[in-house]
Structure 1
Amino acid sequence: MLTYEQASDKVIIALDCSKERAFELADMLSGKATWVKVGMTLFFAEGPAIVDAMRERGLRVFLDLKVHDIPFQVQGAVRAASLTGADILSIHGLGSSAMIAAARKGAEEAAEQRGGDRTRLVAISVLTSMDQAALAEIGVESPVAEEVARLASLAYGSGSDGIVCSPQEAAEMRALLGPDALIVTPGVRPAGAEVGDQKRIATPAASLAAGASKLVIGRPITGADDPVAAFDAICAEIMA
C-alpha cells in the first residue's frame, strides 16, 4: 500500500485558471500536493514567472505547452521553457523524429546552462478530448489505440522521456515502452465526477493499475467546494 506522500506524488493538479485562483489553490494545498500543471491558459497570461512562483511554494511543475513547430524553433522553445525550472514539459508527438530530437537537445542545453536535472519531456499522442470520430475529421483513419502506439514509439525512440495518453491506453503503452517510460494520463475522473469535455477517461486507481506514472486531474479538485477534501479523497482512493 502506498503512503499518503507517495499517493500525492502521483497526482498533478491542473491549474487551468487565473493567477489569483492558482495561488489560492496552491496555498490551500500546501503541504499536501506535490505537483501542479501549468498549461497554456496560465502560462500565456503570466509568463515564466508563474513557474517560479509555484516552485517557490515547494511545488513541482508540469509545464504543458504542447510545443510543436519546426525543429529549429522547438529546440529554442524547449531550451527557454526548461530554463524556467519546469520538471516536465510536453511536446507534440506529431512533429516527427527530427523535432523530438531537437526538443531533447534543447532540454539538455538548458540543463547544462542552469545546472541540475534535465527537464523531462513527454510527447502528446492523441488528445484525450478526441475520439475516433474526431480523428476521422482530420483524416486519420487508424483506430485511436493504434495511432497512440505509433506516435508513442516514434517519440520515445527519438528522445522523449515518455508520453501523454488517456488512461485507456496506459496499459498498452506501459507494455510497449517498458518500465522506465514516463506515462502521464489526463482524462482521470474519480467515480461520480463530471466528465466534462474528456472522451477517454478512467478513475485514478484504474489509471495507475494500468501503468500510468502521473495522473493529471483538474476540475474534480479545483472545481470542488472543498479542494483539499477532494484531493485527500483521491489520494485515499489511490492508497486503498
Structure 2
Amino acid sequence: MLTDPRLIVPLDVPTLAEARAMVEAIGDGASFYKVGLELFATGEGMTLARELKAQGKQVFLDWKLHDIGTTVQRAASVLADVGCDFLTVHAEPQVLAAAVRGKGRSNLKILGVTVLTSLNDADLIEMGFSETARSLVERRIHHAIAAGADGVIASPHEAALARSIGGKDFLVVTPGVRPDWSAKN
C-alpha cells in the first residue's frame, strides 16, 4: 500500500547505487522522490530521474535554479520534456517568469524557493536584506503568484502563510518534515 502521495522522499545520498537501493528498499511505500543537487553533481541525477519516471514514480528536482532568464527558461524546457514533475527555482521575479515560460504547457510544476530554511533574520541582515525572513517569504510568495508559478517551498513556520496567500490550489512544499522519533538534524 502506498503512503500519502504528498510525501516526497529525498534521495539525498552521494551515489546513484545508493539512491537505487533506497528506492528498491522503499518499494511501493512511496511514489514521489526528490533528486537533489548531490546526485545532480555526480552526473547521474537525470539518469535517476528518467529511471524513476519509467517506474511510474513522480520526480521532484530540487535544484534551486538561479541564473539569467534565458538559461533558466532553457533548463526548465529540457526538464519539462523529460517529464519531471516538480522543479525548484529561486523565487525572484525574473527567475520565476523564465521557468514558467520554459515549462510551457507541460505538467512540470514550478516551485519558488522563498528563503532557504537554514537562514534566519540575522543571516538575512548580513546578506543585505532589511526585512525579516517571514516578510521576505511573504514577498516572494507574491512574486511566485505574479509569475504564474505553481507554488513555493516554505518552512513549516511559513506554510500557513503561503496557503493563506496562495489559496487551496497553490502548492506549498515543506522540506525536512519528519516523524517525532527521527533525528532533528
Q: TM-score, normalised by structure 2?
A: 0.92
2:40 maps to a residue whose letter is F
Task: Confirm or deny that 1:101 pairs with 2:97.
Answer: yes
Shift in Å, 1:140: 1.5
Residue of structure 2 in register with 1:222 after alignment: none
- Give the structure, 1 or 2, with the largest relative contact order (CA under 8 Å, sep 6 or more): 1
Q: Secondary structure at the match of 1:29?
A: helix
Instruction: Write the deviation string for residues 198-218 of structure 1: whole angstroms up to 9, x where unpaired.
Output: xxxxxxxxxxxxxxxxxxxxx
Are the equivalent residues in 1 in contact too, given 2:35–2:45 (CA < 8 A)?
A: no
Are the equivalent residues in 1 in contact too, given 2:89–2:95 (CA < 8 A)?
A: no
Residue of structure 2 in register with 1:231 after alignment: none
Shift in Å, 1:173: 1.0
Distance 1:194 1:137 in 2: 29
Residue of structure 2 in register with 1:233 after alignment: none
Instruction: Write the deviation string for residues 7-43 of structure 1: whole angstroms up to 9, x where unpaired.
Output: 5202101101121111001011111101110011112
Shift in Å, 1:103: 1.0
2:184 alignment partner, one of 192, 195, 198: 195
- 1:41-190 equivalences under 5 Å are 41-45=38-42, 46-94=44-92, 96=93, 98-108=94-104, 111=106, 118-190=107-179
Distance 1:99 1:91 in 2: 7
Residue of structure 1 in register with 2:22 after alignment: 25
Instruction: Write the deviation string for residues 116-170 of structure 1: whole angstroms up to 9, x where unpaired.
Output: xx20100000111111122122111211111101011111211110000101101
Give unpaired runs (5+ residues) of structure 2: none
Distance 1:82 1:124 in 2: 18
Q: Secondary structure at the match of 1:38?
A: strand
Q: Secondary structure at the match of 1:44?
A: helix
Are the equivalent residues in 2 in contact too, given 1:51–1:86 (CA < 8 A)?
A: yes
Q: TM-score, normalised by structure 1?
A: 0.72
1:164 maps to a residue whose letter is I
Are the equivalent residues in 1 in contact too, given 2:73–2:98 (CA < 8 A)?
A: yes
1:67 maps to a residue whose letter is L
- Off by >3 Å, runs of 4+ in structure 1: none
Residue of structure 2 in register with 1:114 after alignment: none
2:23 maps to a residue whose letter is A
2:169 maps to a residue whose letter is D
Shift in Å, 1:99: 2.8
Distance 2:123 2:83 in 1: 35
Are the equivalent residues in 2 in contact too, given 1:30–1:57 (CA < 8 A)?
A: no
2:55 maps to a residue whose letter is R
Q: Which has the higher helix share?
A: 1
Are the equivalent residues in 1 in contact too, given 2:85–2:108 (CA < 8 A)?
A: yes
Residue of structure 2 in register with 1:11 after alignment: 7
Q: Secondary structure at the match of 2:129?
A: coil
Identity percentage of aligned residues:
34
